[in-house]
Amino acid sequence: MVQLARFPRHSLGHFPTPLERMERVEEHLRKRFPQVPNLWIKRDDCTGLATGGNKTRKLEFLVGDALERGADTLITPGAVQSNHTRQTAAAAAAVGMDCKLVLERRQVRDEDYEQSGNVLLEKILGAQIIDRLPAGADLAGAMDEIADAVERDGGNPYVIPGGGSNPVGALGYVACAEELESADIAVDWVVHTTGSCGTQAGLVAGFAAFHSRAKVLGISNRRDETAQLDAVKSLTVQTAAHLGTSDTIDDGDIRVDDRWVGGGYGVPTDEMLSAIHLLARLEGIVLDPVYTGKGFAGLLGNIAAGTFAEDENVVFLHTGGVAGLFGYRSVFDGD
């Protein structure tokens, strides 16, 4: 029996999030492909924390842990236009903590990318952007330095890893697996974008603990398949241990598709743009250019390849990120 109630948790979001049928997408795809499953979307873009997103689930457990430890300052890193840093800033504001951010320039774009979207929201939320570092910089070291400075000033820092992806944060997606297990449909697949691994690790560990039939497919937006598989497997095993279950995580439980990364993290692709336009214009649902746009492109590609059976229920997990679109305005000019 999974007992999430025994872990510190602070309510930050609106749960359970909606689970909606994508009937117009199904109709569109059935004109093109012979084998189209039942398509659903789990609306974790509707979690409610400063435009929402998947990090809210993780932050409920991370902030709960931070409060139990008496912390007064949250410190975390992320790429420029990180959804995680924006939601961490909002969580800190909601509980009366300070928030200090380190942003990594994984790519160099324009002024919109540097200052609007998530970055603008972080400033409005009162977070301090301590530094903007070049790609590949020592983010962990930078956070340690900030934590030391907070302690010297008499504060009590709590450092959150990128994406909130550690065994504590991944409990948020064990909770999501529990929601999906109690849904009115039998979920066969969950497809989502996998990056820092916490979402996929929590889902896989959760479904294993609930002895679920559901399979998880992560569409990578950064690493190649081998590297992402290793990273997800490592965190899944750690999460299962933290959860206290005896379930074995097999290599076959971790599924990653790296064909939609394109030029790298946050680098636009034609498939991503097409996926965003398709879902927006058929269902009125907006994706983001870094995570869900590439994830939905991967879902469409797997439908075209016949990965899913026609009678299966396939859930696309919308992990949020719409604020990041404003940092990519030039990509959509002329649409």
Give the active site residues: 82
Instruction: Please state at what angle helix 270-283 crosses helix 23-30, rounded to 10 degrees.
Output: 120
Residues 6+ apart with CB under 8 A from 125: 50, 86, 89, 90, 92, 93, 99
128-134/189-194 β-pairing: unpaired
The Cβ-side half-sphere exposure at 137, using a 13 Å CA radius, reads 18
| DSSP 8-state code for residue 156 | -
Spatial CA neighbour of 143 closest among 195, 229, 85, 216 = 85
Measure the CA–CA gap between 143 and 27, rounded to whole angstroms: 48
Measure the CA–CA gap between 236 and 204, rounded to whole angstroms: 7
Kindly state the greatest CA–CA separation across the chain. Answer: 64
What helix, strand, coil percent values describe the chain, rounded to 5? 45, 15, 35
